[in-house]
Amino acid sequence: MNSDLSPLIISIKTSLASTIITFFLGIFTAWFMTYRKRRYEGLLDAIFTLPMVLPPTVLGFFLLLILGKNGPIGRLLYEFNIKIIFSWSATVIAAAVVSFPLMYKTTKGAFEQIDNNILNAARTLGVSEWRIFWTITLQLAWPGVASGTILAFARALGEFGATLMIAGSIPGKTQTIPLAIFFAVESGDINKALYWVISITIISFTVIILTNIWTNYQKKLISSGGTKIK
């Protein structure tokens, strides 16, 4: 039994924090790209999706260039004595960057499945865009939003490459479960690595099962009750 539970605590905290960020940012970006199309839409979509296809170490390198001491953002933060690199905040940023595309693409797909006639009917009744979003769009797209949220959480939980690049593997500070597994194997401690592999598998499996139950429940509510404009 592994007595040091810091990788578990850090992983859960990091995944939750990054998921909260990607949840709101992903919904807003998906809504903007679906209903507020602008020029260079294809380019913007490619940029938002790029972290999903690039190797995590490449993303980590880009983040290192941006947030490092000599980077454009890092240099500004250093002026205020704020250091991001090799801190817990860096683990959250890395996890949020790699998991954002999953939240964005899944939510955007859910928004695109909504019948625009429903939204236009609400507009003819004088319903504001803000109320349409909260009472119709988000409700109808909620199963997809929930799926995107769990995918983002699972991706953040398993993040390795970008985290190692900008946060390192500092025990008790930035060492997440994937990092703990890697360095346990590297040091020859197979039992410790197996312990963390089983732990992260159980966590991921449990979250996915609970999310599937919740999503199916939401689908039944939508199909049975429909969406009402209050």
Each residue's pLDDT tens digit, 3-31 = 688 999 999 999 999 999 999 999 999 99
d(CA 52, CA 190): 30
Under 8 Å between Cβ of 92 and 17: yes
Q: Which position has the token pair 């625009």?
A: 116
Mean pLDDT score, 212-223: 71
Confidence of residue 97 (pLDDT cuts 50, 70, 90): very high
Mean pLDDT score, 76-96: 91
Return the half-sphere exposure (C-beta side, CA atoms, 13 A cut-off) of residue 32: 13
Confidence at residue 208, expressed as pLDDT on a 0 to 100 scale: 80
d(CA 42, CA 59): 21
Confidence of residue 230 (pLDDT cuts 50, 70, 90): very low
d(CA 10, CA 170): 11
d(CA 119, CA 98): 32
Confidence at residue 2, expressed as pLDDT on a 0 to 100 scale: 58
| Check whether domain 5-54+90-161+168-225 has CATH 1.10.1740.10, yes or no | no
- Please report, as a single letter, which amino acid is at residue 45: D
Angle at 178 between CA 30 and CA 52, to 5 degrees: 25
Confidence at residue 229, expressed as pLDDT on a 0 to 100 scale: 46
Task: Report whether pLDDT(89) > 70.
Answer: yes
d(CA 90, CA 30): 25
Give the model confidence (pLDDT) of 161-186 as tens digits.
999 999 999 999 999 999 999 999 99
Secondary structure, 3-state, 173-198: CCCCHHHHHHHHHHCCCHHHHHHHHH
Choose among 56, 100, 63: nearest CA to 84: 63
Q: What is the domain partition of the chain in residue ranges? A: 5-54+90-161+168-225
pTM over 0.85: yes
Which of helix, strand or coil describes residue 100? helix
